[in-house]
Amino acid sequence: MRTIQEFVDIRAPITTVYDQWTQFETFPSFLQHVDAVEQRTDTHLHWVLRAAGARVELDVEIVEQRPDERVVWQCVRGPRHRGLALFLCLDDTTTRLELHVDYQPETVAGKAVALAPLGHLVRGELARFKDFVEQRGRATGAWRGEVRRPVQRAEVREPGVADPGGTSRRSIPPLGD
C-alpha cells in the first residue's frame, strides 16, 4: 500500500476552505486531473479522472464528514484507496488543509500510477485548490451536514483511557479486503 501525505496553508478562514472542499462538483474547475465529479447522494460520488494518460472512473463513499474538521472517504468501485482531508485553523485568516491518502494498486495501470511521483501531483492539485479559494475569497457553496462513521468495537474505550493511536484525529478506516 502506498501512502501520500501532503498539506497546504490557505489564506482563508477554515469555514471558507471547508465549504469549498465540500463542493465536489466544482473540482474540475481547478484540479488538473479531474474531468468530472457527480454527487449522487450526500455520501456517494462518481469521479472521472485522467491518470497516466488513461481515463479512470471510480465511485467514492464519504464515511465521515464533520464541518470545519474533516472529510473521510473510501473507494467502493475503481482503484482501491481511502483518504482523509483534515482542516486545521492556524489563525482567523489561515487554514491548513492536510490530505492523507492510502492507495492500493491492483492492476498494471494502477501499479504504473503508483510508481509516478504522486506526492508531486497531489502538491500541484492542492496548490491549484489554494489558488482557487484565495482568488475567490469565498466558497461557491456549502454543505454543513455531518456524516458519522459507526464506532468500531476496537474503538470503544473506557472514559479517561488514553488513545493508543487507533482513533486519533488523523485515523482513517482500513481498506476492505
Nearest to 70 by CA among 170, 174, 176: 170
Pairing, β 54-66 against β 44-51 = antiparallel
Interval 36-52: pLDDT, tens: 999 999 999 999 998 77
Average pLDDT over residues 124-151: 88
Domains of the chain: 2-143 (3.30.530.20)
Helix (H) or strand (E) holding 73: strand 70-77
- Judged against a pLDDT cut of 70, whether residue 157 lies above it is answered with no
Does 174 score more than 90 pLDDT? no
